[in-house]
Amino acid sequence: MLLNDISDLIERLKKRGARRVVLQFPEGLKRRSAEMVAALKEAGFEVVVSGDPCYGACDLALENLGSSDVLVHFGHAPVDEQPKVIFEPWAVAFDVTVLENALPFLRGTTLGLVTTVQHVGLIPAMITFLQSRGITCTVGEGSRRTPFPGQVLGCSFAAARASGADEILFVGTGLFHPTGIAIATRARVIALDPLSGTAQEVRGDILMRRRFAVIEKARGARTVGIIVSTKSGQKREKLAERLVRLSDNAVIVTMREVTPDELLNLGFACYVNTACPRLAYDDQVRFPVPVLSPQEYEILCGTRTWDEYAIDEIV
């Protein structure tokens, strides 16, 4: 499978007249870099590897393009237009009959179907399988950041919303995406991990209760750092400028990687995260102080009510 990928990639690189190429891999694929380097050197390219952490197409190693012709970004679909970047998918296949495991959890016979980028190629097969079980799927168009129909990101649930369904099946790993979908759509959400075969209903209220507690913990914070990412697809400066004006105690803090160590070193009493939305929700247990989403900070400052709680998405 790898060699197929590479022959196609070599074709695209040659078409562009690339001579020197930077490769960027997400954390789960970094181990494959040495074999990919060897194959591309064999094909006549000069190769450089980006060694920084990478969790999405929002985090492109563009600083390498000064000394290279093309950046090949593996494993993610583009979240924005980038002329000198090739996005090289890394599909992960599974047997679609595993969807059988989700059937006992469904209430209706029409379903919104969403998944992550590595499985979008299987959406037609998933639809056919579900149809054979009497279930009709709707697959919504995504946003600018999710180019494939039915594709969701941890920061964009537009395809779930666009499905218009009351019941949504998320096929993918982990509970963050389906939890976000549940809060964003207020639909009933079933999550199926296609690799382990585990299916379950996922509700948003557990996360929301936890977040309510974090907001309360942030009350009275004398110093607030409004985090702005320096990563290409996470830099929400306008949002941060608006939030920093909500309190005299707030200041903008720029960061590349938002880590517990750096938040501790800086010593602010509370942070607001405008970088990757998952950070605030997923990593709170690792952080030394409350890290709020933009919407949660608005609730803290009284410019949004709790009933208007919304999950943070990058649009």
Per rule CB under 8 A, count of chain residues that contact its own copies = 39
Name the residue nearer to its own copies (CB basis): 36 or 191.
36
Look up residue 251 and give its two tokens.
């200041």
If binding is defined by CB under 8 A, does position 251 make contact with its own copies? yes
If binding is defined by CB under 8 A, does position 84 make contact with its own copies? no
If binding is defined by CB under 8 A, does position 219 make contact with its own copies? no
If binding is defined by CB under 8 A, does position 165 make contact with its own copies? no
Q: What is the 3-state secondary structure (H, E, C) of 113-170?
A: EEECHHHHHHHHHHHHHHHHCCCEEECCCCCCCCCCCCECECCECHHHHHCCCCEEEE
Name the residue nearer to its own copies (CB basis): 8 or 241.
241
Name the residue nearer to its own copies (CB basis): 11 or 248.
248
Q: Which residue has the tokens 């509970």?
A: 175
Q: Are strands 270-273 and 250-255 parallel, antiparallel or unpaired?
A: unpaired
If binding is defined by CB under 8 A, does position 44 make contact with its own copies? no
If binding is defined by CB under 8 A, does position 43 make contact with its own copies? no
Contact 297, 268 (CB under 8 A): no
What is each CA distance from 314 to 39, 79, 259, 293, in whole angstroms? 36, 10, 20, 12
Candidate ranges 8-16, 85-93, 220-228, 305-313; the one touching its own copies (CB under 8 A): 220-228
Q: Measured at the alpha carbon of residue 255, what is the angle toward residues 282 and 265, in degrees to the nearest 5?
A: 85
Candidate ranges 83-91, 157-165, 182-190, 219-227; the one touching its own copies (CB under 8 A): 219-227
Cα–Cα dist 105/234, whole Å: 35
If binding is defined by CB under 8 A, does position 230 make contact with its own copies? yes
Phi (first) and psi of residue 84, to 5 degrees: -100, 20
Name the residue nearer to its own copies (CB basis): 207 or 275.
275
If binding is defined by CB under 8 A, does position 262 make contact with its own copies? yes
Among the listed residues 8, 16, 34, 206, the single contact to its own copies using CB under 8 A = 34
If binding is defined by CB under 8 A, does position 18 make contact with its own copies? no
In the complex, minimum distance from the CB of residue 284 to its own copies, in angstroms, rounded to a whole number? 18
If binding is defined by CB under 8 A, does position 238 make contact with its own copies? no
If binding is defined by CB under 8 A, does position 223 make contact with its own copies? yes
Among the listed residues 129, 157, 268, 287, the single contact to its own copies using CB under 8 A = 268
Q: Measured at the alpha carbon of residue 238, what is the angle toward residues 235 and 241, in degrees to the nearest 5?
A: 110
Contact 34, 44 (CB under 8 A): no
Candidate ranges 114-122, 153-161, 183-191, 260-268; the one touching its own copies (CB under 8 A): 260-268
Candidate ranges 6-14, 113-121, 203-211, 224-232; the one touching its own copies (CB under 8 A): 224-232
In the complex, minimum distance from the CB of residue 18 to its own copies, in angstroms, rounded to a whole number? 16
Look up residue 239 and give its two tokens.
């949002």
In terms of Cα–Cα distance, which of 147, 156, 164 is closest to 113? 164
Cβ atoms within 10 Å of 149's Cβ, excluding its own: 16
| Residues written for the chain | 315
Look up residue 223 and give its two tokens.
């110093």
**Helix, strand or coil, per DSSP, at residue 191:** strand
If binding is defined by CB under 8 A, does position 218 make contact with its own copies? no
Positions in 53-72 near its own copies (CB under 8 A)? 53, 61, 63-64, 67
Binding site for its own copies (CB under 8 A): 22, 27, 30-31, 33-34, 37, 41, 47-53, 61, 63-64, 67, 223, 225, 227, 230, 237, 251-258, 261-263, 265-268
